[in-house]
Structure 1
Amino acid sequence: MPSSDSGVNSTMWPPGTVLLEEKTASGNSFILQPRPTNDPNDPLNWPTWRKYLNLGLVCFWVALVAEFINAPTPTWSPMQEELGYTDEVLNDSYAAGCAALGVGSLVLIPFVLKFGRRPLYLICTVIQLAVSVWSAKMQTVTDLMLVNVIQCFFASLAETVVQMTIADVFFVHQRGRMNTIYVWVWLFATYLGPLIAGFVAKGQGWRWVWWWNVVVFGVAVLVVAFGYEETKYSPRAEALESVPVPDISEASKVSDTLANGKVVDKTKDDNDIEIASVPALEATPLAINPTIPKKTYWQRLALTTPTSSDTESSFSFLQYTYQPLFLLATIPAITFAALVYGILVGLGDVMSTTMSTFLPSSPYNFTSDQVGLMHLPRMIGVTIGALITGPLSDWWIIYISRRRNGVYEPECRLWCVIPFLPFIPVGALLFGIGLDRGLPWIIIAVGLALYNIGVTPINSLVVTYLTDSYREIIGPALVAVTLIRNAFSTAFIFALTPWEDAIGLKYVLVTILLIACVILSGFGVFIRWGKVFRERSADRYRASAGRQYRERAGDNA
């Protein structure tokens, strides 16, 4: 966004609308959004290898957390034999975990905003290690419930803080791929965990599923402690932001950049008039300021990164816990993203729990390892969806922006959702009808694969749309999304057993699928009127952004 002193009316920019490309006399110049500073410690200025190493470590952490949350389902059958848990108790424990996933980020994200990403990544990993030991020694229903609640409470960070990390490090034209990688890792590990757990439970006993988690989380503590760098950026006083981008209404006037940094207005007649109030665009970041010292390795591994005093928010710390609820109720894009994410994940969770209770019974009589293998088609599905979506969405936004004089609107990404929408009802119906009627397992497997081909692109694109539109409040926005996402799962799983008893599995899934189709039809609404919604909610967004613990001042990209 242009600064207020640039002489440009910045209020004409709806949140998320940016200029990605400028036409100059020498050709098209690509504009990096958000604008980096001249500080070598700014994560936007990190070398590419360092950005990808950081993302790789985050993805490793996400994979472990997703595996830990979802590994229990193949252990249910042997756990029932040893400890006598009923199906209803197991479903309730799963639902309790879903509820904790929703509440956890509501409590934890204010700490992420205030003290940085790194301390919460590390604390979460240590707690998951401790809960792994507890899980391996489980004896009672109380143990089962508390293990699910505590592990999911802290695991909730994996559904919110990663997108914040991506927004810290990567530019707008890269976020589609990065968010797709994150969603793929999350879903792939979600399904890989039960697959591995099934074989471990059969070969070594169900308790060894958790002892192996003790080992991998022990490794993860070391990896996070000595490998992951903080991406929260608190600028130094001498760190200047790159030259801001002019208002869209001025973009067509910009043609040549003079050596003195002024822009020539070619819309005038014969006499070129220098407009000192409109800053020159840059296609690359400012040169790095050599007077700013680079942080040492140990400085980059500081346990906390407090917000600098000059960017402190007037908001109290406690108010951050209910700000997501305000955003959910007042900004349509956040409400829509929450509903989309919630219904798709909730339907997927219903598939997981029904599969774990139906497949061990007649006519399938699957063992724990065979139940685990049924997650293989889901892994294939998410991989196919991710391979298509990541490159497609980032290529598409550059292509469509060039056709709009370099202007990028976040709604451009939503067009990429349309080809994947039919996979949701087709996959869910094949799964539900197949399982309900005892059809061959291959039909159920195909349904799972098709459903996940659709889920991966839709989830990654709706999260990226939200990140592009409301970057400065992406933390609390994702908390709101996670809250609704887990509210769906909690409600569905708690109600699942009596619901199935009343109307049967097929009609349970059909009912949820009808709700999903109504919500997914909203993509058409946002493709057509999403910009209008952003314009009308701009004041609420800027007011909420102004209350954040500000990190990159003036960045509304």
Structure 2
Amino acid sequence: MPSSPVPTDPAWPPGTVRIEDLSQPGDSEVVLHPKPTQDPNDPLVRSSSEYPELPIELTLLQNWPLWRKNLNFALVSYYVVMVLALIDVATVTWGPLNLELGFSYALLTDSYAAGCGSLCIGGLFLVPFALKYGRRPIYVFSTAIQCGISVWSAKMQTVTDLMLVNVLSCIVGALAEVLVQMTVADVYFVHQRGLTNTIYFWFMTIGVTLAPLAGGFITQSQGWRWVWWWMAILFGAGLVVFIFLYEETMFDASPINGVPVADKLDSNPPNKEDLEMSALDNSDIKTPEETQLARELPLDHSIPAKTYWQKLALWTNSPVPFSEVAKHCYQPFLILFQIPGVFFMALVYGVMTACTTVPVTTLSSVMTLPPYNFGASQIGLMGVPPFIGTTLGAVICGPLSDSIALSLAKRNNGIFEPEMRLWLAIAFTPLVPAGLFMFGIGLNNGTHWLLPAFGLGVSSVGVVPASSAALTYLTDSYTDIIADSVVGVTFIRNSISTIFIFALQPWCDSVGLAWFYVTFGLISTVVLLGNLIFIYYGKTLRAKLAGTYHHYSQKQLISRPS
């Protein structure tokens, strides 16, 4: 087990931070974490719109105001919707594909499962490029590739076409999960991430549920090939927007002589005041006065802010050799199996994803048959209940996640623990199995379609807080290694979905559809209740494995002082 390069106070393991300054008169103030630097190009730099209480001289020429952060995140959200739509819209075209090209439902289910398997490995090959060249080129090039895959899908003729478009779209589509968490860690503070990750999960659900709805009506009115032509058009529009509006969020905050700077080649030595201020800003435990001073460091205007065209450079080439970057192809697995928190959150996220994807394949293979005999548009309409459920879950849990964290931190003398977010997941746990039971038993017994539809909505409400909490827990606890952690999470998540989808048909043939979903619901319940273990022992595990965390954080290409 790697040892920590510095002693770690068990009371302050990685992830434990002060985010409430209780020393101020009146209402307590939020402490920014991670700590923004004095570089105007730092995406985490505070802005007057976010923190109007700051003196005006400290908010002049802010280079990353809140609207700019949110614009970048909005573009990323559009990317997520389109990628998930490309993967999941295919299910409503299965009926016409079966009639026109003779593809069996078993083959179509296997093609979907092959895509889920490809999602496992896509991040392993592509994320190192995001670490080496930045987020922007990966978003741009992957959008262009997905546009081409959509055109290929529109011209599909053979089984080879079917398998390749599914596999290739999912290899590239794996970036929709990994890159987003990297972007969130780049741009948002700890007290903003719960809401941000909930919004991200909500947009994922739009791609998974509403894309089949739109695809069903397109299939009926224009034919199944036009589903893919519309995907090509929308990806093309997204490509243009990304090229001209999406800015690079990767920022090198590595310190020189204790002072974070943007340009490592800057030869100007820091003065005594800078060194003292930097030492203050990088201390692990601060008094309230020190916290206030660190939060109000002014920008260093000797560092030039990037121009519009510099912000839109196609790539940012890290000086780290690619041989070092390549280590991130296998490092996620080392992290995954050495840090229990990463593995468990991957397990939670994977099971919750399966709770969304497995019913989608069930709908397309069961409800097209008697007694339902649903057409493409009707199958698409079954995406409305999970969309409504997810929206309700997001509206309720998004603001609650951050507000509960801030409230619990205030009761804890202003100290935030990542485990505080897991209480919300526990509260909504019963909804997941209840919805799965209604869906599976309802379909098995041929009940009115309202029962399985209601079950989908109920389970979706419960899936949101669990998924959002898992992602946010990872980002809060393991910020410095979030890229590798999320690659490992993506591998586990999609492996679980692949296993369940491949096993779905033989499992149902063996025990029946009802018992499959009863078992599935019980498995999800056991996994979600595991959050209780981390609520009570998560901090102890973070403290014991701080050495492992620091070992891998030092291997990251770009780091931010904590």
TM-score, length basis structure 1? 0.90
Cα deviation, 1:56-85, whole Å, max 9, x if unaligned, reads 111111111111111000100011000001
Tell me whether 1:413 sits opposite 2:421 in the alignment: yes
SS in structure 2 of the partner of residue 369 of structure 1:
helix
Tell me whether 1:287 sits opposite 2:302 in the alignment: no
**Could you tell me which amino acid in structure 1 is paired with residue 37 of structure 2?**
T
Counterpart position of 1:514? 522
In 2, Cα distance between the equivalents of 1:32 and 1:138? 51
Counterpart position of 1:236? 263
Cα deviation, 1:24-45, whole Å, max 9, x if unaligned, reads 3656443100100111110012
Counterpart position of 2:41? 41
**Could you tell me which amino acid in structure 2 is paired with residue 121 of structure 1?**
Y
Tell me whether 1:91 sits opposite 2:109 in the alignment: yes
Counterpart position of 1:491? 499
One of 307, 310, 313 as aligned partner of 1:296? 307
Counterpart position of 2:245? 227
Deviation at 1:319, TM superposition (A): 1.8
> Number of residues paired by the alignment?
521
Counterpart position of 2:124? 106
Tell me whether 1:134 sits opposite 2:152 in the alignment: yes
* Aligned sequence identity (%): 47
Cα deviation, 1:492-544, whole Å, max 9, x if unaligned, reads 11222222222211122222222212211111100000001111111111100
The answer (yes or no) to whether the contact 1:174–1:394 under 8 Å persists in 2 is yes
Provide closer, same or farther for how the CA distance between residues 315 and 519 of structure 1 changes in structure 2, counting only shifts above 3 A.
farther
> Superposition RMSD on alpha carbons, in Å?
2.1
The answer (yes or no) to whether the contact 1:232–1:551 under 8 Å persists in 2 is no
**Could you tell me which amino acid in structure 2 is paired with residue 505 of structure 1?**
L
**Could you tell me which amino acid in structure 2 is paired with residue 87 of structure 1?**
Y
Deviation at 1:141, TM superposition (A): 0.6
Note the 1:212-361 alignment, pairs <5 A. Answer: 212-234=230-252, 235-237=262-264, 243-244=280-281, 246-248=283-285, 254=287, 257=289, 281-282=292-293, 284-307=295-318, 309=319, 312=320, 316-361=324-369
Counterpart position of 2:556? 548
In 2, Cα distance between the equivalents of 1:315 and 1:532? 35
In 2, Cα distance between the equivalents of 1:373 and 1:322? 41
In 2, Cα distance between the equivalents of 1:9 and 1:336? 23
Tell me whether 1:68 sits opposite 2:86 in the alignment: yes
In 1, Cα distance between the equivalents of 2:448 and 2:523? 27
**Could you tell me which amino acid in structure 2 is paired with residue 224 of structure 1?**
F
**Could you tell me which amino acid in structure 1 is paired with residue 18 of structure 2?**
L
In 1, Cα distance between the equivalents of 2:406 and 2:542? 21
The answer (yes or no) to whether the contact 1:20–1:31 under 8 Å persists in 2 is yes
- Unmatched tracts of structure 1, length 5 or more: 258-278
Cα deviation, 1:353-385, whole Å, max 9, x if unaligned, reads 011111111000111100000100011000000
Provide closer, same or farther for how the CA distance between residues 360 and 409 of structure 1 changes in structure 2, counting only shifts above 3 A.
same
Counterpart position of 1:13? 12
Counterpart position of 2:403? 395
Cα deviation, 1:317-370, whole Å, max 9, x if unaligned, reads 332111111111110111111111111212322111011111111000111100
Provide closer, same or farther for how the CA distance between residues 164 and 44 of structure 1 changes in structure 2, counting only shifts above 3 A.
same
Cα deviation, 1:80-104, whole Å, max 9, x if unaligned, reads 0000011110011000000111110
Provide closer, same or farther for how the CA distance between residues 411 and 132 of structure 1 changes in structure 2, counting only shifts above 3 A.
same
Cα deviation, 1:426-464, whole Å, max 9, x if unaligned, reads 100000000111000000110000010011111011100
Deviation at 1:314, TM superposition (A): 10
SS in structure 1 of the partner of residue 208 of structure 2:
helix
**Could you tell me which amino acid in structure 1 is paired with residue 100 of structure 2?**
E
Tell me whether 1:32 sits opposite 2:32 in the alignment: yes
In 2, Cα distance between the equivalents of 1:98 and 1:29? 44
Deviation at 1:114, TM superposition (A): 1.4
One of 121, 145, 154 as aligned partner of 2:163? 145
- Unmatched tracts of structure 2, length 5 or more: 46-63, 253-261
SS in structure 1 of the partner of residue 295 of structure 2:
coil
Counterpart position of 1:436? 444
The answer (yes or no) to whether the contact 1:8–1:247 under 8 Å persists in 2 is no
TM-score, length basis structure 2? 0.89
In 2, Cα distance between the equivalents of 1:221 and 1:149? 21
Counterpart position of 1:262? none
**Could you tell me which amino acid in structure 1 is paired with residue 210 of structure 2?**
L
The answer (yes or no) to whether the contact 2:426–2:529 under 8 Å persists in 1 is no
Deviation at 1:247, TM superposition (A): 4.3
Deviation at 1:246, TM superposition (A): 4.5
The answer (yes or no) to whether the contact 1:229–1:301 under 8 Å persists in 2 is yes
Provide closer, same or farther for how the CA distance between residues 313 and 14 of structure 1 changes in structure 2, counting only shifts above 3 A.
farther
Tell me whether 1:480 sits opposite 2:488 in the alignment: yes
In 1, Cα distance between the equivalents of 2:187 and 2:457? 32
**Could you tell me which amino acid in structure 1 is paired with residue 544 of structure 2?**
R
The answer (yes or no) to whether the contact 2:428–2:462 under 8 Å persists in 1 is yes
Deviation at 1:12, TM superposition (A): 5.4
Provide closer, same or farther for how the CA distance between residues 170 and 318 of structure 1 changes in structure 2, counting only shifts above 3 A.
same
Deviation at 1:171, TM superposition (A): 0.5
Provide closer, same or farther for how the CA distance between residues 216 and 426 of structure 1 changes in structure 2, counting only shifts above 3 A.
same
In 1, Cα distance between the equivalents of 2:183 and 2:24? 37
In 2, Cα distance between the equivalents of 1:315 and 1:516? 40
Provide closer, same or farther for how the CA distance between residues 9 and 204 of structure 1 changes in structure 2, counting only shifts above 3 A.
closer
SS in structure 2 of the partner of residue 163 of structure 1:
helix
Deviation at 1:281, TM superposition (A): 4.3
